[in-house]
Structure 1
């Protein structure tokens, strides 16, 4: 007999979805807590955080996706994997929580461009995710989402380093990298890190990439919301040239406190 606790939380499949999501929720140790208390406690906790609006909606969308998946398996005998349920979550967010994907500021409305390589329009938008900008290019096509966090370090001696770490949609680490280099500015070091990620993803033929950086200036310049800094024009051209290799690319700004692992990788690389 299926129970709500098992369906929404304790099932191995469900626990992997929670752990691999943007929330990174670990369900171990919650077996003795009723599902209603567990849900209420998490919503109260998430609502108090700076990212609370987005995270509460993501939490509820995940519950909905788990319930819908259970019905598809039980009543329609469908095969469902983690890629499908992750796409269901993001589709629900896009369709039912427009505050995550539409600009709250008219200056950050839709931006349409035509790529010279393809000679066809490529959908691009600069949106707001709970107050933080998100540059979205292309449209998801059902392929697995690869999530990467990146950060860089720099000093006035023009010494620089960057580090990044990538996960699949189940939370499994796919790779990490630390590079020591030289750069004219911290912004240039950040841009070099993003370019390195894009090159890596192209080599592995990943088609849906979600990159998070705590460098707001870089995200705005990638999206075309700010004028390009001349020191990173060539790097931005390399990044933009790669757009046609992906079905969907997302460039997110996140606060530094949420980018701790990538930050530590970059700091460590400075000491190499």
Structure 2
């Protein structure tokens, strides 16, 4: 299999090293310059990326608003990596201006967010152990990120994924609005290593759609208990879902209120049908 080692964000045919991707690439330098930090990344280009970042963190820690600036620094890295990943997967729709706008929105959401703490439970001893955390989810409880109270105008999104042994996945989500109308979406996803990973991709795609539609109050319904317990920090993320769960939590910053609810499979039939339809495309 041919592997492309060149940078996906610029047309200079540079090898995609850590230094080039996160600092020296023209795309990256403009993100740093356009950030709240106003960093001129071209300076000290002879340093490794690790040393460069450590120097900046050490410098930032001397400032009175260091916590906010560290968040800005981390968001820069996340935006660059997200744009790179999308480009590597063939999605070049995010422009430099769009990336900076996403950066500003994410930083603003994080700094202004009011996170409501969820109930804490011990991690389950085994994956098949129906712990207190799973009982908590099954009882219909929910956890809210970035919101102060449940709102009656929240949009409900029912999500499901279908997965085959050949790693092909189908994603489906059904949207129900407060006025009684609904919409259905389905698409074939990238190959996944497990059903939980496929479900995480489905939730991620549904949140991306809701963000693009500027829906600010969302309830996500899923029949995957194990994944929901990981998203709500009630269980340790698995190796297959760790990065996807992190992306889901990042996307929560784009909403005023996000809730996650467990729904039995028999009540999630529409999303399941959509996922099955997508897997056969």
Normalized against structure 2, the TM-score is what? 0.51
User: What is the aligned counterpart of 1:178 among 181, 184, 187?
Assistant: 187
Equivalence for 1:136: 144
Equivalence for 1:166: 175
CA separation in 1, counterparts of 2:165 and 2:138? Answer: 34
Change (3 A) 1:142 1:262: closer
CA separation in 1, counterparts of 2:278 and 2:258? Answer: 27
Structure 2 residues without counterparts, runs of 5 or longer:
1-107, 120-132
Normalized against structure 1, the TM-score is what? 0.53
Change (3 A) 1:197 1:132: same
Tell me the CA shift for residue 119 of structure 1: 7.5
Equivalence for 2:255: 246
Tell me the CA shift for residue 140 of structure 1: 4.0
Tell me the CA shift for residue 267 of structure 1: 0.9
Q: Describe the SS at the equivalent of 2:234.
A: coil
Please, what is the CA RMSD of the aligned residues? 2.5
Tell me the CA shift for residue 136 of structure 1: 2.2
Q: Describe the SS at the equivalent of 1:179.
A: strand
Q: Is the 8 A contact 1:135 1:219 kept in 2?
A: no
CA separation in 2, counterparts of 1:130 and 1:183? Answer: 26
Equivalence for 1:220: 229
Change (3 A) 1:261 1:123: same
CA separation in 1, counterparts of 2:109 and 2:206? Answer: 23
Tell me the CA shift for residue 178 of structure 1: 2.8
Change (3 A) 1:203 1:143: farther
Change (3 A) 1:247 1:124: farther
CA separation in 2, counterparts of 1:245 and 1:116? Answer: 6
CA separation in 1, counterparts of 2:256 and 2:155? Answer: 12
Equivalence for 2:161: 152
Change (3 A) 1:142 1:180: closer
Give the alignment of 1:21-36 within 5 angstroms.
none
User: What is the aligned counterpart of 1:202 among 205, 211, 219?
Assistant: 211
Structure 1 residues without counterparts, runs of 5 or longer:
1-114
**How many residues are aligned here?**
158
1:118-177 Cα offsets, whole Å, 9 max, x none, are 286511425947724422222248683110101111122111111111111122014423
Change (3 A) 1:142 1:134: closer
Equivalence for 1:118: 111
Q: Higher strand fraction: Structure 1 or Structure 2?
A: 1
User: What is the aligned counterpart of 1:235 among 244, 253, 259?
Assistant: 244
CA separation in 1, counterparts of 2:190 and 2:137? Answer: 32
Q: Which range is displaced more, 144-153 or 115-124?
A: 115-124
Give the alignment of 1:51-66 within 5 angstroms.
none
Q: Is the 8 A contact 1:222 1:236 kept in 2?
A: yes
Equivalence for 1:10: none
Q: Describe the SS at the equivalent of 1:118.
A: helix
